[in-house]
Amino acid sequence: MTPLDDTDRAILNRMQDDLPLTERPYAQVARELGITEDDLLARVARMKDERVITRFGPFFDAAAMGGAFCLCAMAVPPEDFEAVLTKVNAHPEVAHNYERTHRLNMWFVLATETPEGIGACADAIERETGVQVLRFPKLQEFFIGFRVAA
């Protein structure tokens, strides 16, 4: 992995803010940072390829659009973990998936187009894996404005 330099860090810090709603938002951000648009795009692509950033894009409020999010957990037998992981991750509704050192060793987020989609997807995962999906629906969201200083 290529070590991050000051320009990479400036890009990461700046890109956590709103992108300008212009015809060429990356060109505008590049100008703000004193680099070319091509350099900015190449650096973002490299950081994504090297998994410094895992995802780059907007974050939508599924509930505001009529959908839903739900945190889910499963107690997967260790010997079955990889097979269950493959089946769970095959669902496009799975937004994140993490292995934990706990009895509930698989935690993931479902994001669906309708609130009913949560139950349908979780039920399908249970049928496919034979493992119960525990559902932890959001009661209230607290926006904290999380940012990572690179």
| Alpha carbon distance 29, 39 (integer Å) | 11
Query: What length is written for the chain?
Result: 150
Q: Give me the pLDDT at residue 142, please.
A: 76
Q: Give me the pLDDT at residue 139, please.
A: 86
pTM: 0.69
Domain locations along the chain: 6-49, 63-137
Rg (CA), the chain: 19
Residue type, 108: F
Please give the C-alpha separations between residue 148 and each of 3, 30, 40, 144, 145, in angstroms, as whole numbers.
17, 20, 19, 12, 10
Q: How many Å is the maximal CA-CA distance in the chain?
A: 54
- Given a cut of 90, is residue 1 above it in pLDDT? no
Share of the chain above pLDDT 70, in %: 94
| Alpha carbon distance 77, 68 (integer Å) | 28
Q: Quick: pLDDT tens for 99-120.
A: 999 999 999 999 999 999 999 9
Q: Quick: pLDDT tens for 62-102.
A: 778 888 999 999 999 999 999 999 999 999 999 889 999 99
CATH fold of 63-137 reads Alpha-Beta Plaits (3.30.70)
Residue 69: phi and psi, rounded to 5, are: -120, 150
